[in-house]
């Protein structure tokens, strides 16, 4: 049976039929774990290096155009955060178009060297709601939580979030990891011992797949929704960055020199992927346990390409087998991002 799509979303997609036809694929939807939310399998991420283009020198009108293009193509999940400094732009973009959108944002749990109180996190939520020009968010996430902070989160912050949820300001709550500082998913593995979290956001890519054993069996069993980040980082989009990473892995004895010489070229062929970015999105999209694949962009053309890749069939079985044989043992590759001191 085809998934039920919110009426507002179906209307947007019908009105945007010309854009959809250019993609040659139909937008797909899924249920985000036990939240019951129907969401597009492709979610627009408003952070990363691009920040809707604001991080690359684009103006706010261009960033709003990216959000509008995502909506026109049937994307229903928009993920932002106070730390991304894109909430105001997202709020402006959603003016008159809020219906049917699953809006997700986040608050940090630390500032400088200290962890925040529950009241401070709720104050961040209130500020986010004001910037987003809305009275509630479908998903509110604690941002980049470290394992060492988790006990404080449960004792001090979660009770405040549950009160905000009861007040109707939050529909569901989730937790995101800080991938560059937690290659083993320690924070999320600890969080899955508690029943409070309805979603988790985690890093998973062609060379960092340990969530396959550490997290996905548990999220699937518990009905915890998953959102993927770090799917396409610089290692897969910049050849020089891939070469640098491969040299480092060879020096560490983690990769054979002959493999590092052309590590991913086998993926590009007529029956396979059209580019490494295409391969990266298709690789994660069909992993059991994955609900939403987040993508970020500063360009409407790239947005269409990214969505199209996410909606393509899985990579050929032989390519998937070779990826696993070559890189299945690697951990922490492609997680370039901010480090947390201490």
Catalytically active residues, by annotation: 84
d(CA 174, CA 162): 12
Residue with tokens 């996190």: 121
Q: Report the DSSP beta bridge partners of residue 77.
A: 102
Find all residues with CB under 8 Å of 63, minimum gap 6, and list them: 51, 52, 53, 54, 86, 89, 93, 298
| Alpha-carbon gap, residue 57 to 52, rounded angstroms | 10
CA distances from residue 232 to 20, 171, 218 in whole angstroms, order as listed? 23, 29, 24
Q: What are the C-alpha distances in Å from 82 to residues 130, 143, 254, 336? A: 11, 9, 37, 20
Strands 170-177 and 199-203, by their bridges, are: parallel
Distance of alpha carbon 263 from alpha carbon 333, whole angstroms: 13
Nearest Cα to Cα of residue 41 among 7, 70, 21, 62: 70
Question: What is each CA distance from 120 to 109, 156, 264, in whole angstroms?
Answer: 9, 11, 45
Cα–Cα distance, 260 to 244 (Å, whole number): 10
- Buried/exposed 24-42: b ≥16 CB within 10 Å, e otherwise: eeebbbeebbebebbbbbb
């Amino acid at each position: 049976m085809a998934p039920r799509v919110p009426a507002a979303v179906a209307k947007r997609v019908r009105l945007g039929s010309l854009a959809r036809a250019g993609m040659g694929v139909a937008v797909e939807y899924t249920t985000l774990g036990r939240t019951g939310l129907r969401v597009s399998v492709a979610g627009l991420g408003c952070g990363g290096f691009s920040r809707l283009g604001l991080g690359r020198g684009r103006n706010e009108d261009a960033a709003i155009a990216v959000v509008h293009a995502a909506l026109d193509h049937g994307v229903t999940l928009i993920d932002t955060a106070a730390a991304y400094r894109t909430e105001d732009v997202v709020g402006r973009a959603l003016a008159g178009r809020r219906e049917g959108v699953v809006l997700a944002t986040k608050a940090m749990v630390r500032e400088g060297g200290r962890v925040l109180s529950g009241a401070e996190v709720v104050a961040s939520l209130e500020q986010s709601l004001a910037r987003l020009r809305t009275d509630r968010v479908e998903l509110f996430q604690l941002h980049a939580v470290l394992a060492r902070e988790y006990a404080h989160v449960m004792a001090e912050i979660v009770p405040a979030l549950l009160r905000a949820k009861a007040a109707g300001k939050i529909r569901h709550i989730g937790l995101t990891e800080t991938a560059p500082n937690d290659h083993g998913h320690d924070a999320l593995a600890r969080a899955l011992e508690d029943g409070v979290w309805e979603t988790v956001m985690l890093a998973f890519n062609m060379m960092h797949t340990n969530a396959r054993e550490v997290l996905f069996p548990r999220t699937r069993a518990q009905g915890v929704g998953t959102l993927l980040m770090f799917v396409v980082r610089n290692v897969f989009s910049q050849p020089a960055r891939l070469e640098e990473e491969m040299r480092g892995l060879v020096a560490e004895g983690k990769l054979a020199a002959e493999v590092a010489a052309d590590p991913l070229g086998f993926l590009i062929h007529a029956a396979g992927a059209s580019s490494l970015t295409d391969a990266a999105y298709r690789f994660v999209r069909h992993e059991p346990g994955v609900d939403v694949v987040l993508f970020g962009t500063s360009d409407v053309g790239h947005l269409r390409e990214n969505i199209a890749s996410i909606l393509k069939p899985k990579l050929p079985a032989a390519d998937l087998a070779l990826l696993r044989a070559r890189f299945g043992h690697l951990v922490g590759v492609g997680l370039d991002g901010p480090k947390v001191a201490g």
